[in-house]
Structure 1
């Protein structure tokens, strides 16, 4: 039988043992292993071999590099203990710093969640990489404009005559008075192609995904279901809609959509099959008819550039049918870019803010973080006057500047960690709910991916840790013991960098206050503005 000691234990011995002692210790432990294996059995010999390897893990047997690593761990543990003691000893200053940083961190978290949500609109659709929103370029005396409206007949023709097109969904908005029993409301109706639930991953709370295959069926949102039926199941109920032109049509509810997720950029309240348009409109449908949106889904392995050369004939068909709205070019916008570009697309059905808005709140968040870091620096430098003798004594006892820097940076990381915890709680329970009061949807406290969340929190800890703690640590650690003990070392206003910090802090605070007043007054102005109708 081939007896060998446990390999992992032998590797551990080689890792920690000094090269000058390795051969002797390894020879002794292996000799004992083979003797015990013959006398007591292999299993018992392996257990005792492992114990011998652990037993020889002594300071005198360690490599120099391992001694340094263990020394570093011991020193770090010491830094942590001293850091917690100093924070608890100066608890008033610690609370001010923690709360100030927490407010800025909470704001930064809230803004990042909002921006992350905006950049991941419609990302839940499984076929998003193959779906494109079709927009057109229209040129007039004001220049080129982008429009979401497209010829009504374009979608079916693309699907029927181009093999790379797998699916096409049109959406056309209309209005009508919807009645159920004694409840009558004017609602937004959307005509769509029945294949909408094959292209998009909108979930149904009840009903089948092919519900719109029947001409007299309709699908409603959960909000409409609650509005008309409360807790009652709406499936199978008949609703009548009186459209413009006094045409009335009855529909059977065959599906109810689940509540839309926050990253849904376009939403529908009432969906009916697009085939109903021909009966509800008196005019003939021609190439000058327009939809509110057209989505094109391509087969895998194909790109919209393959269709570019073939779109010219559709431009000709439309422009010949109308004289006052000429299309110059069609463009296929990827679904993940549709909401981000909605600010420049006229009559876009996607809800997407202007990038200037995201940039503005990002700058405000950065200013708040900078203010909190500057405030921490000034307080840290001012409060360090009480610790000058501690610094001098540590240097006299053999500590160097690096040790002092590590000590102050460790204390700063501890404080920043507490600030991040408190800031996260403020964001979750206060800032995000408050932010949602200004939004047309409920923004969840979540990130688009776990990896992004880890990178954000880790990066934020590093940034505020370095930004707020570097200057106090490196500035205070350079003081000489002799100068401190003689009382010659002073901390105060003559330091140029401290003056710069205070000036920047004052300027940023003033800018933030002025901006708040401007935004508040602007909001009051628009709330009080007469829009020419009674909103009640």
Structure 2
């Protein structure tokens, strides 16, 4: 019986091939578009969701006012802040400061070769940090010991970078030289994170190297050099708003007051998992905020799906009404009402199945473009 219904339904669909092909294509495009948009939405909202302590991990944001006027809001703050947070805020388990150089192709120039055969790279994402960063983030070591980062001019690299620089060689103990003339030693290899993170680094350098390069400890004590990013890990069960209330005016209490400038700087905490979509602090309009654009795109995806599904249902209803008009003649020849219902259902299933197969093909075709 089912085989007979399928054969009859296929012959019925072949009577108006272009009309049914349009219906199939419309539903396929709608399904594929929604799937691609939803995939992109999941990618954008999934940044930094893989950290085991992510629900307690925050980045410090500094908001600056001069003469009562808002000037800036950004994640850069002072080196001395991390020490104050660790010493004075018991709700904070650990506060760590880092410097981050992105993979821009115009970053720090490094030479991993020799004098006779230089190997220059300026496209490596670099994080300068203390070993304490391992208490905040899940960084898995492959070989070596990250505790050696306590010493200046040391660093660890990702396994991918190690394979790129030193194929078939042990990278530990290898040296590289930077454009300031200082030489660094590789002391370990770690597994690189997923790409869905705001910190896309392939190297962690000793934070002590910053002070050693200049011969002063401003990298830990300065209240003027606002180039540091500070991350804090709250103790379990601590309330973010309570901690923010304690640290809000911390800079005003510790930073020396500058003459002739009514400068005020306040602190707040930003969840690490919100950084990707909520870091456009100076955006003023609704659509200039990335989070709103991503949410708007998802809304468009639902609208596309609703339109495609509505068109599909309307088309089947119109075909069904047309069948009802011819039902009287066929019933006089012995056909039952259940037969018409079953035939309509089988036709809808065939169209839906074809649409799904074509939508999956579109998905495979266009997914690489979204992955870029």
- Bin of the TM-score, shorter chain as denominator length: 0.7 to 0.9
List alignment gaps of at least 5 residues for structure 2: 102-106, 284-288
Instruction: Please state whether the residue corresponding to 1:107 is helix, strand or coil.
Output: helix
Map 1:351-390 to 2 at 5 A. 354-373=290-309, 375-377=311-313, 379-380=315-316, 383=319, 387-388=323-324
Q: CA-to-partner distance for each residue in 1:68-102, whole Å, 9 max, x for gaps?
A: xxxxxxxxx97x97467414641435444333322
Contact 2:131–2:149 (Cα < 8 Å) also in 1: yes
Hey, what does 2:370 align to over in structure 1? 435
Contact 2:56–2:234 (Cα < 8 Å) also in 1: yes
Hey, what does 2:64 align to over in structure 1? 138
Contact 1:121–1:336 (Cα < 8 Å) also in 2: yes
Say which is worse superposed, 98-107 or 293-302, in terms of deviation: 98-107
- Alpha-carbon distance change, 94 to 262 in structure 1, aligned in 2, over 3 angstroms: farther
Hey, what does 2:173 align to over in structure 1? 236
List alignment gaps of at least 5 residues for structure 1: 1-76, 347-352, 438-536
Instruction: Please state whether the residue corresponding to 2:58 is helix, strand or coil.
Output: strand
Instruction: Please state whether the residue corresponding to 1:372 is helix, strand or coil.
Output: helix
Distance 2:70 2:319 in 1: 61
Instruction: Please state whether the residue corresponding to 1:129 is helix, strand or coil.
Output: helix
Hey, what does 1:422 align to over in structure 2? 358
- Deviation at residue 218 of structure 1 after TM alignment: 0.5
Distance 2:171 2:62 in 1: 39
Contact 1:121–1:265 (Cα < 8 Å) also in 2: yes
- Aligned CA-pair RMSD: 3.6
Structure 2 residue corresponding to 1:179, chosen from 97, 108, 111: 111
Hey, what does 1:216 align to over in structure 2? 153
Map 1:507-522 to 2 at 5 A. none
Q: CA-to-partner distance for each residue in 1:358-389, whole Å, 9 max, x for gaps?
A: 24533543454355345535654565576345
Contact 2:153–2:208 (Cα < 8 Å) also in 1: no
Q: Does 1:265 align with 2:201?
A: no
Distance 2:63 2:304 in 1: 41
Q: CA-to-partner distance for each residue in 1:417-474, whole Å, 9 max, x for gaps?
A: 44234323431x212112223xxxxxxxxxxxxxxxxxxxxxxxxxxxxxxxxxxxxx
Q: CA-to-partner distance for each residue in 1:124-165, whole Å, 9 max, x for gaps?
A: 110111111111222358736421011111112211333322
Distance 2:189 2:11 in 1: 57
Distance 1:207 1:337 in 2: 32
Structure 2 residue corresponding to 1:117, chosen from 43, 48, 60: 43
Contact 2:9–2:343 (Cα < 8 Å) also in 1: no
Instruction: Please state whether the residue corresponding to 1:117 is helix, strand or coil.
Output: helix
- Deviation at residue 173 of structure 1 after TM alignment: 3.5
Distance 1:414 1:193 in 2: 61
**Larger radius of gyration, structure 1 or 2?**
1
Contact 1:222–1:257 (Cα < 8 Å) also in 2: yes
Distance 2:370 2:234 in 1: 38
- Deviation at residue 295 of structure 1 after TM alignment: 0.8
Distance 2:335 2:168 in 1: 76
Contact 2:89–2:246 (Cα < 8 Å) also in 1: no
Map 1:391-402 to 2 at 5 A. 391-392=327-328
- Alpha-carbon distance change, 108 to 232 in structure 1, aligned in 2, over 3 angstroms: farther
Distance 2:262 2:169 in 1: 47
Say which is worse superposed, 109-118 or 170-179, in terms of deviation: 170-179
- Deviation at residue 217 of structure 1 after TM alignment: 2.1
- Deviation at residue 297 of structure 1 after TM alignment: 0.5
Instruction: Please state whether the residue corresponding to 2:246 is helix, strand or coil.
Output: coil
Q: Does 1:105 align with 2:24?
A: no
Hey, what does 1:304 align to over in structure 2? 240
Structure 2 residue corresponding to 1:344, chosen from 281, 285, 303: 281
Contact 2:146–2:156 (Cα < 8 Å) also in 1: no
Aligned residues: 348
Q: Does 1:328 align with 2:265?
A: yes
Contact 2:250–2:267 (Cα < 8 Å) also in 1: no
Hey, what does 2:223 align to over in structure 1? 287
Q: Does 1:163 align with 2:90?
A: yes
Q: Does 1:90 align with 2:22?
A: no
Which fold has the larger relative contact order, with Cα–Cα distance below 8 Å and residues 6 or more apart in sequence? 2
- Alpha-carbon distance change, 88 to 183 in structure 1, aligned in 2, over 3 angstroms: farther
- Alpha-carbon distance change, 371 to 313 in structure 1, aligned in 2, over 3 angstroms: closer
Distance 2:327 2:256 in 1: 81
- Alpha-carbon distance change, 383 to 309 in structure 1, aligned in 2, over 3 angstroms: closer
- Alpha-carbon distance change, 384 to 186 in structure 1, aligned in 2, over 3 angstroms: same
Contact 1:98–1:418 (Cα < 8 Å) also in 2: yes
Distance 2:230 2:339 in 1: 65
In the superposition, the TM-score normalised over structure 1's length comes to 0.56
